Amino acid sequence: MKIFLAEDDPVTRTTIQELLEDEGYEVATAMDGTEAIHTWDHHRPEIILLDIMMPGASGYDVCRSIRKANRSIPILFLSAKSEEVDVVLGLELGADDFVRKPFGKHELLARIRAVTRRNESIPTGGSFPFGDWVIYPKRLIAENHGNGAIDLTDREIKILQLLIARQSEVVTRDELLNTCWGMEYYPESRTLDQHILNLRKKLEHHPSTPRWIQTVRGVGYRYP
């Protein structure tokens, strides 16, 4: 698997690169955000790791640029910025996860495996209805005759597919995390909550009182 790493600190960059290469990954690196924007696609990576605070362009800028060209490649932020607003911003820009520095070797490897894992039991081919929308997984969009089309991420579509597959049943948080991210995902992350919030903003007429993505307090979510 090819990984693209953008990290301006040379010690951290070398440490992460050596760790990943020892695990059998092929790693290409960038020393700052500007270089990352101009070179990531050249390396054709299967996952991207981004620091946030970089000279030239921030990790947020890099993520925004990548998402304009590719909405499905997994992006993982690695950052010492740990305020919730930073996490929320990163996920709203289309990142799949946010790993706080300092992190351990095993946590980073587990997050990489989890964010790239795909659950083969959920179909990804045909379109399917979700509330007032029609979801097109291959095109990564949702269409509504009254509201036009909106972009969705691969992860958002997987969440919708699982909720549809279990219609009227409660899908637990652990099941969503294990199915849509992978068995080794860390449940304490706010990533799932932010993805649900983003989906409600995109698909619900009234996100604060959702009709289609209902919260079952203390358990998970349900599509009625």
pLDDT at 83: 64
Q: Which domain holds residue 136?
A: 128-222
110 and 88 inside one domain: yes
Q: What is the CATH number of the domain that holds 63?
A: 3.40.50.2300
7 and 44 inside one domain: yes
Q: What is the mean pLDDT of the chain?
A: 87
Measure the CA–CA gap between 199 and 207, rounded to whole angstroms: 9
How many domains does the chain contain in total?
2
> Confidence class of residue 66 from pLDDT cuts 50, 70 and 90?
very high
132 and 74 inside one domain: no
pLDDT at 122: 45
| 146 located within any domain | yes
Question: Per-residue pLDDT tens for 116-143?
Answer: 764 334 445 678 999 989 999 888 899 9
pLDDT at 127: 87
Kindly report the pTM of this predicted structure: 0.65
168 and 94 inside one domain: no
- pLDDT beyond 90 at 163: yes
22 and 83 inside one domain: yes
57 and 87 inside one domain: yes
| 159 located within any domain | yes
The domain boundary residue, chosen from 58, 85, 116: 116
Which ranges in the chain belong to alpha helices (H)? 10-22, 33-39, 59-69, 84-92, 105-116, 154-165, 173-180, 191-203
